[in-house]
A and B are shown apart, each in its own frame.
Chain A
Amino acid sequence: MTYKELTDTEIIKRILQGEQALYAQLVLRYQSYVFTLVLRFTDNREDAEEISQDVFVKAYRSLADFRGDAKFSTWLYTIVRTSCITFLRKKRLPTASLDNERTLIQVESRESDIGATLVEQKSRHAMLNAAIGLLSPNDSQIINLFYKGEQTLEEIGRIIGLDPNTVKVKLHRARKRLKEKIETHFSYAMEELSGHDGLS
């Protein structure tokens, strides 16, 4: 049996027995998941990489606390969230109210910049990520966990402390808002892409 065939729980068990090198398998499996989630908290890739690395180190140190009653990715997400919040607090990133007129202008110019770049890139993936980036942190969190983290409604509920039905409603709303963002800011890019790819 190769390492790739081992389940997360089996790998963790063996790491706890002293096979530290096996942790690389877990890092390889979840690095993109963690990095993508972290990028939702900070737009800077360097910062995201630093936080992601910190997440894996913290996860390693606390590995004995992983009981296996939830998925490893669910457990990892709780570390991602606390690490990102700690990082943002340390950095004290400037935040501004959206009621502020100046902020609105900045947001709109940022959105139009993204739109212009995307038409050039003709990339669905980049457009989608940019559209998710325009959502509120709560909306993007649910979408990322459901689609990119492949978590069930129950698992998301456990992570964010809500019952699965509430998560479902929030997911519906988040997707609706995502669709609105795409239509508002990326409709031209979508048409271009649809024509290019032959998709609807």
Chain B
Amino acid sequence: MNTEQPMADRLWDYIDGLSSPAERSAVETFIAANQEWQRKYRELLDVHQLLVGSELEEPSMRFTKNVMEEIARHHVAPATTTYVNKNIIRGIGAFFLTMIAGLLVYCFATIKWPSTGSSSSDLISSYSNSLEKNSPLEKINWGKLFSSSYVTAFMLIAVVSGLILLDLYLQRKKQQVSR
């Protein structure tokens, strides 16, 4: 039984019909036996009844007619699912992921890691020293990286894939317009 929950919350759940059958009977017992619960219940029930009995605001009498006159000039647009191709979205995502992955692989491949034969404490000290004096990122020859034939080839493939995707998208759009 939920005894920790404040009285008002339990009463609201009871009024809204959200409490379990066990909780309902517990609340009913409290309301019947306890004056404090009874008073609070009446108080909350008043607010609830006020809200339930509230009326909606009405627009002007001509409202429906105005809307119908306005929509006579419009057409229902085709559903988004008919013109948004999920494969294209997935393709664009894959394209960017491939680009990022390719660059990361190349960057890691160019880093000269410390030798693995030394003990762990040596490794940590040598690593911290290398971080202080000569961090791995500093060891990378960025100029060489971006001028190497590997990157040129990779970028070429990426651009060609991008153009293929763009072409696919435009073709699809053209087909829809012609329909």
Contacts and interface: CB of A to CB of B under 8 A. Distances in A.
A136 interface: no
A172 B8 contact: yes
A147 interface: yes
B74 A60 contact: yes
Contacts of B50: 124, 128, 182
Interface in A116-149: 124-125, 128-129, 143, 147-148
A125 B54 contact: yes
Given A62-B77, A168-B18, A23 B56 contact: no
Contacts of B80: 65
Interface residues of B, number: 39
Interface in A152-168: 153, 168
A175 B12 contact: yes
A77 to B, nearest CB: 14
A138 to B, nearest CB: 17
Nearest to B80: A65
A27 B68 CA distance: 9
Given A60-B76, A64-B77, A65-B80, A24 B64 contact: yes
A61 B1 CA distance: 51
Contact of A200 (B42, B57, B67): B42
Given A31-B63, A53-B70, A129-B54, A64 B47 contact: no
A27 B75 CA distance: 16
A32 B70 contact: no
Contacts of A35: 56-59, 63
Contact of A148 (B54, B64, B82): B54
Contact of B64 (A31, A33, A178, A200): A31
A193 to B, nearest CB: 10
A52 B46 CA distance: 31
A84 interface: no
Interface of A: 15-16, 20-21, 23-24, 27-28, 31-33, 35-36, 39, 48-49, 52-53, 56-57, 60-65, 124-125, 128-129, 143, 147-148, 153, 168-169, 171-172, 175-176, 178-179, 182, 199-200
**4 closest cross-chain pairs (CB), A and B:** A32-B56, A64-B79, A35-B59, A36-B57
